[in-house]
Structure 1
Amino acid sequence: MAATSGAGRPEKRKAIARAATAVFGREGYARASMDAIAAEAGVSKRTVYNHFADKETLFLSVALESSGELAEKIRDLLDRHLGRIVDLRQDLTDFAVDRARAVLSAGDHGALGRAIRAEVANIPADVLEAWLEASPVASLRDLAERFEALAGRGLLVVDDPAPAAEQFTLLTFHGVAERSFWGAVPVPEEEVGRIAALGVDAFLKIYGAPAAG
């Protein structure tokens, strides 16, 4: 993969990145063209190439930026809901609901994620791996670390936090994600809450600490 050029003004680079996020999300990786991205950004194709050496480099840049922003949002939600436990079931449910909202209402960034999932076979393997590491994998790792800390406090019984984080995500999030086609179709708030609560109850049946006494 060619290196990204550092030439050009930062504001132009940001405009190109915003345009690329919209075009890749709308057209997908294979169909999107540098001409379309240039038109969306209101710049010449030469200007796009002054900032990004090729389409793969541009796609990787916007995919990693999008993933990093989402991972940071989820990290903040973990701190807010699971940093100080008041009611474990409620705190886990609140986190699950807010995570679903964050992921599924991400606008152009969400559309980019849908395009990536729909076009896995067309996206270069190194780009796909980097995107996975930047957000889905990173967020699971952050959640696993939080579960390990909760287990250390006696609030959960977790031998291996990595599969616990995966199972929590499957139980509380993927039902909403699939029903909404990863944010393309709205899901009523009460349904998001219902799925989250049922998932948390199932999770705590597996990993919840035994009641005292």
Structure 2
Amino acid sequence: MTDTGSISQATPHPRSHIAKRLSVLEAASIVFCRDGFASASLELIAAEAGVSRQTIYNHYGDKEKLFIAVVKDLTERANAGLFAAISSFPDNPADLEAELVDFAMRLACNCMCNNDCIALRKLIQAEGRRYPELFAPWRELGPERAWTAIGARFARLHHAGYLEIDDPDIAARQFQALVNSDLYIGTLLGDKPSEAQVRKSAAVAVKTFLKAYGATAAKH
């Protein structure tokens, strides 16, 4: 007598449509970051994903469309960490400098030191000049949204008397540049900064920022 239950458990289920799509996207991210757009092939990506070349065509079409999908996916994943950090911005700080340092640390850990952000930066550096049209999703969804969101928070601190800022958007870009400056090269080369290194970088960034924008009579 056949044990149908045992056979059912032993028979592997084929991967779902969604699982294959995600597998291709992840494999494409690995191959594009490693080999660049020109050298990457659908055959290499298919082998990395464990699917057929036809499966890639079915889900994404050609290599350009797949690359654009990778850029969009990395940008959206990077944005998730970024906006999680921005949501913790100190709108009513009891200690402005200390709370901005904590915020800067969260911003660095969720963005500059995040694997998705690192992969996206490598792609932009390697391919942005040669294939600018492939980075349309990043231009639409990337840094401008972050600067606008952080700038809006700085505007609130300005109106509350904590900061003196003429252009919150410029201040936001400068703040993020200061936070990232000491960590950029190391993360690009694969280094993982320690918590102490991130805190030191954040503290220096905030001190420099407040020298430029700190209110002379901040409210507490």
The answer, yes or no, to whether TM exceeds 0.5 is yes
Distance 2:218 2:108 in 1: 32
Q: Which residue of 1 aligns with 2:196?
A: 190
What is the aligned counterpart of 2:28 among 7, 20, 24? Answer: 20
**Partner residue, 1:5:** none
CA distance in 2, matches of 1:163, 1:121: 25
Amino acid at match of 1:207: Y
Q: Which amino acid aligns with 1:119?
A: E
Q: State the partner residue of 1:155.
A: 162
Post-superposition offset of 1:28: 1.9
Match of 1:119 among 121, 127, 143: 127
5+ residue gaps, structure 2 = 1-15
| 1:60–1:131 Cα contact (<8 Å) kept | no
Residue matched to 2:96: 88
2:135 matched to 1:128?
yes
Question: Which residue identity is paired with 2:103?
Answer: F
Distance 2:54 2:218 in 1: 68
**What is the percentage of aligned positions where both structures have the same residue?**
35
Deviation for aligned residue 1:86: 3.1
Deviations 1:142-184 (A, max 9, x none): 1111111221222111111111011111212122112x14361
2:183 to 176, 196, 206: 176
Gaps of 5+ in 1: 1-7
CA shift in 2, pair 1:98/1:183, >3 Å = farther
Local SS of the residue matching 2:173? helix
For the pair 1:44 / 2:65, whether they are aligned, the reply is no
Q: CA RMSD in A?
A: 2.1
Give the aligned length: 204
TM-score by length of 2: 0.84
The answer to whether the 8 Å contact 1:156/1:207 transfers is: yes
Q: CA offsets, 1:115-154, max 9 Å, x none?
A: 222222222x232243133222221221111111221222
Instruction: Report the Cα distance in structure 2 between the residues aligned to 1:84 and 1:102, rounded to whole angstroms.
Output: 22
Provide closer, same or farther for how the CA distance between residues 51 and 87 of structure 1 changes in structure 2, counting only shifts above 3 A: same
Contact persistence 2:81–2:111 (CA under 8 A)? no
User: Counterpart of 1:145?
Assistant: 152
Shift of the 112–29 alpha-carbon distance from structure 1 to 2, 3 Å rule, reads farther
Return the index of the structure with the highest Cα Rg: 2
Within 2, Cα distance between the matches of 1:13 and 1:83? Answer: 40
Where 2:183 maps in the other structure, the secondary structure is helix
Q: Which amino acid aligns with 1:199?
A: A
Q: Secondary structure at the match of 1:121?
A: coil
Question: Whole-Å Cα distance in 1 between the matches of residues 120 and 206 of structure 2?
Answer: 29
